[in-house]
Every structure is written in C-alpha cells, then in structure tokens.
Chain A
C-alpha cells in the first residue's frame, strides 16, 4: 500500500533540515495548518498529512475497528514516519492529535525528538474531581450536529475526489469543503476523540514537550491545560492570547513563533 497516498502526505520546506510534523485534529484536515506553514518551513522540513477518513485520504483504507481507537491513528503517524524514514521529528498535534502524538512517540521513540501539544485534552468528559468540560449528552449533541451537517460531502463525489488526489481542478472544490467527511466516518472519529480517556498515557511522555493552549477555549479549557502540564514532568506550558480552539487559524503567527521558540531552545 502507498502510505503517502493513503494519508495524502505533503512535504514542504528546506530539504535536509529538521522535521516538523503537523497533525490535524477532529473536524477538518491538514489545511488547518496552512497559515503556519510559511513561517515553519523557513528552516524546517514540514510534513503534513490527513488521517485516514479525513480530508483527501484514501477512504477505502478506512475501517471502523482500526479507527475506533486512538492507537489506530497513531499507527498512521508511525507508518508515515517509517515510510519517509523520519528521525528526530518535532510532532505538533492539534487537539486529539496531541494525544495521538503521545501514543506514537511511545510506540516509536526513535522517530520523535519532542512534542508540541496544541489545545490538548486527555479526557473531555467530566469524571469525579476531573473537569474535562463536557457530559456524555454533550457528545451526543455533537453527533447530532454531524448528522445534520454534511458540509458538501456527498457519497457520489467522494470516490472521484479521493481517487484523484493529483487531478488539477479538483483542488479548489476540496478547499471549499476541507471539513467535509463521510458522516459515518466522522461519527467514529468524534466518538473516539471525545469518549477516550487518555489520562494514563500522559505518563508515557519521555521527550521534551510544549503544551500550547489558548486563553479562551471551550474545548480545552485552561484547567485541562494545567492538568496536562502537571502530568508531564518537565513540560512547558504557554498560553496564547487567542480565543477558540484553533490558534493556528486565529493566531497563526504567534502559534508558529511559540513552536519555533520551543524547538530552537532544544538545540
């Protein structure tokens, strides 16, 4: 199987320079990182990809069993690193990808040098003293929203799009619906994202880690950022002056700057 095609891997930036891998979270695809790439690519090799089931990945490679657990997504990450033979990767994971990065780094420690966790949450649902910010009913409401909003995804178009990643002319259509996903696949990703309890995995982190949170983020509130920071000894916590869950879109320069500051301090 062609992994690079399967995950729609795109590589940019200076050849031979240190690698930054940008991983999207639940919702959209690698286009989420577009505004940060120019700054990061100046002196880094930037690898972006779509998880199987998202963006322009090969939907035929998707199966519910694998992608109903975060380990399945972590395998995507490790397989891409193996395929490109990447070493000392700075893995930047947004949202659920922050925890996917933790799993990937534990699984293939030789590949990763450090982690940047953007808006991470190891558990979204409240549990006794732990405040994740959500109840199980809230997640059901999200699933309803997914069901009511197809965002231009259509069963008829999907195979054409997925089968022709290189076809010019399709590109614009795709940017216009970069959050569009097969609703059945999106439901599985949503459940995996919001119902997984990864708190115990935080102890596995053995590389320098930056926790990058937004000052006001309903999905990953500051309490949760503090929890992640405390659970990873030696980690660095930076709070961006940004609202929402996607600082790479709302504050791309600041996001890129913090990533680069962290990476340069490691050398």
Chain B
C-alpha cells in the first residue's frame, strides 16, 4: 500500500497557476533590464557610459542623452567617491576582473545623493581581451543608515572605553599615592638593627588594609607595628590611617605595648560605634638595645603570632594567645610577650595574606606550619634575605595569593655583618 497521499488538484486552480506562469513568461528580458529593481550600466574600459537602464536614469534624474557617451561612471560619484574609485575600485577591477559590494554615493541631477552598493565585472572577448565593464547598482539607503548607526555606536563605544581607561589610570595613580601614605616611605636606620619590609598589593584598583611602621620613641627605644584592617577600599584605608597615627601617638605617650593597643581599641571603638563597625588586628612592639642584642616587648590584638628565626636555624612562633580583635569591644585585653634578639636572630611579622594564600590544585591554605618550615629552611639569611626569599614565595603563589600581604622583618646582624637598613 502506498503511503504517499497525493491528492489530485482541482482543475480550476491549475488553470489559474498556468495563467500566472504565462504572464511571467511575458516579462521580457528587455523589460526586466530597463525596469529591474536595481540599476544597470555598461561602460567602455575607460568608464564612458555606453548603456544604462531606466531604473538608474530615474534615480539619477537624468535623460539617456545626458549620460550615454557623455559621462563616465566616476562622474556619477561624489568627489570623495571618485578618489576612492581611482585608488581602490579601478585597480581592483583591472587586476581581478571584478569587484563586488563597494559602497558609494551617486549624485542625482538635482544635487541629492543616493547611497548605493556597486558591483562590476569585466566582460572579455574570445581572446581574453577586456571589452567592457558591466555594473549593477543597488539602492543602499536603508543599509547605509543602519551601517552608519553601527559605526556611530562603535565610535561611541571606543570613546567610552578610552575614557574609562583614562579614568582607571587616574584612579590607580590616586590609590597608589594614598596607599603609599599609609606606609613609611622608607624604614629608618636603627643603629645595630637590620630591618626589611615588603608590601604586596593584590589589586591595583583597591586600597589594601595592611599596614606597618618602625619609628623612634626616645633616645634609645624604637617602636614597630604591623597589622591588618578588616575589609578593603577607601573605608578600610581610613581605618588604616586612623590606626597608624593613633599607634604612633600612643607610643609616644606610653610605649607599653598593651597600653598602646588599649588606646587604639578605645579610639576605633569610639569612632566606629554604630552601624559600621570597623576593627583590625595588630602586633605592636618596642625594641631596646641591650649590648649587641635587642630586647623585644610586644603585644598582639588578634593578629597571627610573630615568627622568630634564631641564628642556629631554629624557627618558632612567639605565642601571644588570647588577644582580642581591636575595636570590637569597648574594653579589650591584649596578650604581651618578650624575647631577646641576639646577633643572627630575626623576628618576622606578617599578615594573613601570606598564610592564607591558596596553593596547588587543591587550593589548600599555605598555613602556619608551612611558613615555619620555610623559615627553618632559610636560616642565616637576615631580615633582607628572609624578606627576599618570602617575596619569591609570594610570587610563586600566583593567583592563589588574592589578598594584600605585608612583611616586616627585624634582626640583629650576625657579629661579622655590618648593620644596614633598606626598605
């Protein structure tokens, strides 16, 4: 059984279809040429117009007598279009035998302009010699206004992008100046002590919240601090600024580390009470020379413990348990610790950008243990050597390091090494 369900056409419909076809067949080639919905013209090789259809003559507002044998194709174009014709269109046509879809504007007799798309081919004789050029011309008014709109938008987008880039550069410059103002331009020279620091900026677009400082308190004592304000951006920078100058002032008033952090706690809590609590973690300490060594008295408020690397390569955290975040509660207790830096010993302060960097494919935290091992594996380097090695470590983290990181290393040079200080 056949499954193709042909139904016979009613005889009346077939007759109507035939009538339509018949009228189509009567559309002569000549009439199609003259009244086609596009312009046709044929020119000699030098561009002189030899034949042109009614459609194009209508568009041009000209009579056949005005045009044939009297004008060249290029004469129909705007002057700019003529330049383009001579420098691009004609050479391409000559070399390739055809050019398609070129946008021009043709000038009508009344002075109006019609955007068109032009395609030309060279007709050759039996011997391959070029005889004449055949050209079709399409009305492209709609297409051109669409393209102009696209070009306009592209230009607008390019300008916006350039503006955005310039704005971003200005912002980055402002941010970097501001960021620098939150850190010492250079560490001071402390007689008998070597100090080194490093600040890694995670993003050029955002102010980091890490900070550190080293400064003189009186004739023999020096204070140092390093910390981390919660958050990033301008608000964090404002807290950082307040923190830095509060600790500096507090140290001059009473250099006891717990007293300095207590003052900072009171200031931050008072300033940021209400809907926008801001706090930080910090280690604050005082250095005092004792022969060729330095005594260190420090206190921590919620900050990762300092790391001590001894001359013999032992590495240990200087534990300060129980210190609270600074600025959260109206009163807070902070834990103090003491140690002595003998020649060859180095004390490292750091922010958690280092220990909380993500490593490897598992994206595990780098961690306190790894840092301890790293320090133990790099003994005898002094503050500069240690900071330099840690910079290499930070670089190696690549994208795993997504937070700002501050490092401050303080050490007494081994007795043979002359003291030196750099930032």
Most A CB contacts (10 A, CB to CB) among B72, B78, B87, B151 go to B87
Q: Is the CB of B79 within 8 A of A141?
A: yes
Q: Is the CB of B82 within 8 A of A27?
A: no
Known: A134-B79, A141-B81, A218-B82. A249 touches B91 (CB 8 A): yes
A135 to B78, CA, bound (A): 12
Task: Answer whether residue B8 sits at the interface, using C-beta atoms and an 8 A cutoff.
Answer: no
- In chain A between 138 and 153, which residues have their CB closer than 8 angstroms to a CB of chain B? 138-149, 151
- In chain B between 91 and 108, which residues have their CB closer than 8 angstroms to a CB of chain A? 91-92, 94-96, 102-105
Known: A27-B88, A179-B88, A219-B86. A144 touches B80 (CB 8 A): yes
Q: Is the CB of B47 within 8 A of A141?
A: no
A216 to B103, CA, bound (A): 24
Segment at the interface with B among A28-36, A58-66, A195-203: A28-36
Known: A244-B47, A244-B90, A245-B87. A218 touches B95 (CB 8 A): no
Residues of A within 8 A of B88 (CB): 27-28, 149, 151, 179
Residues of B within 8 A of A142 (CB): 80-81, 83-84
A142 to B83, CA, bound (A): 6
Task: Answer whether residue B254 sits at the interface, using C-beta atoms and an 8 A cutoff.
Answer: no
Known: A145-B84, A249-B95. 9 other contacts (CB 8 A): A27-B88, A34-B95, A139-B83, A175-B95, A178-B92, A219-B83, A244-B46, A244-B47, A249-B91
Q: Tell me the dominant secondary structure on chain B's binding face.
A: helix
Q: Is the CB of B104 within 8 A of A246?
A: no
Q: Is the CB of B84 within 8 A of A149?
A: yes
B47 touches which of A134, A138, A243 (Cβ 8 Å): A243
Q: Is the CB of A246 within 8 A of B103?
A: no
Task: Answer whether residue B270 sits at the interface, using C-beta atoms and an 8 A cutoff.
Answer: no
Q: Is the CB of B92 within 8 A of A179?
A: yes
- Some 28 contacts from A to B, beta carbons below 8 A apart, are A28-B91, A134-B79, A138-B78, A138-B83, A139-B83, A141-B79, A144-B80, A146-B84, A148-B144, A149-B84, A149-B102, A151-B92, A178-B95, A179-B88, A179-B91, A218-B74, A218-B83, A218-B86, A219-B83, A243-B72, A244-B90, A245-B86, A245-B87, A246-B94, A249-B90, A249-B91, A249-B95, A250-B45
Q: Is the CB of A138 within 8 A of B79?
A: yes
Measured CB to CB, the closest approach of chain A to B100, in angstroms, equals 10
Q: Nearest 3 A-B pairs (CB), nearest first? A: A141-B80, A27-B87, A145-B84
Measured CB to CB, the closest approach of chain B to A135, in angstroms, equals 8
Most A CB contacts (10 A, CB to CB) among B72, B78, B83, B88 go to B83
Residues of B within 8 A of A145 (CB): 80-81, 83-84, 103-104
Measured CB to CB, the closest approach of chain A to B194, in angstroms, equals 48
A244 to B82, CA, bound (A): 10
Task: Answer whether residue A227 sits at the interface, using C-beta atoms and an 8 A cutoff.
Answer: no
Task: Answer whether residue B147 sits at the interface, using C-beta atoms and an 8 A cutoff.
Answer: yes
Known: A138-B79, A142-B80. A147 touches B151 (CB 8 A): yes
B80 touches which of A27, A28, A139, A243 (Cβ 8 Å): A139
Residues of A within 8 A of B45 (CB): 250
Measured CB to CB, the closest approach of chain B to A144, in angstroms, equals 6
Residues of A within 8 A of B79 (CB): 134-135, 138, 141
Residues of A within 8 A of B78 (CB): 138, 141
In which size bucket is the chain A interface?
35 or more
A243 touches which of B46, B81, B147 (Cβ 8 Å): B46
Most B CB contacts (10 A, CB to CB) among A137, A138, A175 go to A138
Residues of B within 8 A of A146 (CB): 84
- In chain B between 144 and 162, which residues have their CB closer than 8 angstroms to a CB of chain A? 144, 147, 151
A148 touches which of B86, B90, B147 (Cβ 8 Å): B147
Measured CB to CB, the closest approach of chain B to A247, in angstroms, equals 11
A249 to B90, CA, bound (A): 9
Residues of B within 8 A of A32 (CB): 91
Task: Answer whether residue A262 sits at the interface, using C-beta atoms and an 8 A cutoff.
Answer: no
- In chain A between 40 and 84, which residues have their CB closer than 8 angstroms to a CB of chain B? none
A216 to B96, CA, bound (A): 23
Residues of A within 8 A of B81 (CB): 141-142, 145
A32 to B46, CA, bound (A): 17
- In chain B between 43 and 91, which residues have their CB closer than 8 angstroms to a CB of chain A? 45-47, 72, 74, 78-84, 86-88, 90-91
Most A CB contacts (10 A, CB to CB) among B88, B92, B147 go to B88
Q: Is the CB of B80 within 8 A of A140?
A: yes
- Determine the residue in chain A with the shortest Cβ distance to B87: A27
- In chain A between 141 and 171, which residues have their CB closer than 8 angstroms to a CB of chain B? 141-149, 151
Task: Answer whether residue A25 sits at the interface, using C-beta atoms and an 8 A cutoff.
Answer: yes
Q: Is the CB of A149 within 8 A of B103?
A: yes
Known: A28-B87, A145-B104. A249 touches B80 (CB 8 A): no
Residues of A within 8 A of B82 (CB): 218
- In chain A between 82 and 132, which residues have their CB closer than 8 angstroms to a CB of chain B? 95
A243 to B46, CA, bound (A): 6
A243 to B86, CA, bound (A): 10
Task: Answer whether residue A266 sits at the interface, using C-beta atoms and an 8 A cutoff.
Answer: no
B87 touches which of A25, A143, A216 (Cβ 8 Å): A25
Task: Answer whether residue A176 sits at the interface, using C-beta atoms and an 8 A cutoff.
Answer: yes
- Determine the residue in chain B with the shortest Cβ distance to A133: B79
Contact with B along A1-32 (1 / 0, CB 8 A): 00000000000000000000000011110011
Residues of A within 8 A of B144 (CB): 148
A218 to B82, CA, bound (A): 8
Q: Is the CB of B91 within 8 A of A27?
A: yes
- Determine the residue in chain A with the shortest Cβ distance to B155: A147
Residues of A within 8 A of B95 (CB): 31, 34, 175, 178, 249
A243 to B72, CA, bound (A): 10
Contact with A along B110-152 (1 / 0, CB 8 A): 0000000000000000000000000000000000100100010
A101 to B151, CA, bound (A): 36
Measured CB to CB, the closest approach of chain B to A34, in angstroms, equals 7
Measured CB to CB, the closest approach of chain A to B299, in angstroms, equals 59
Residues of A within 8 A of B47 (CB): 243-244
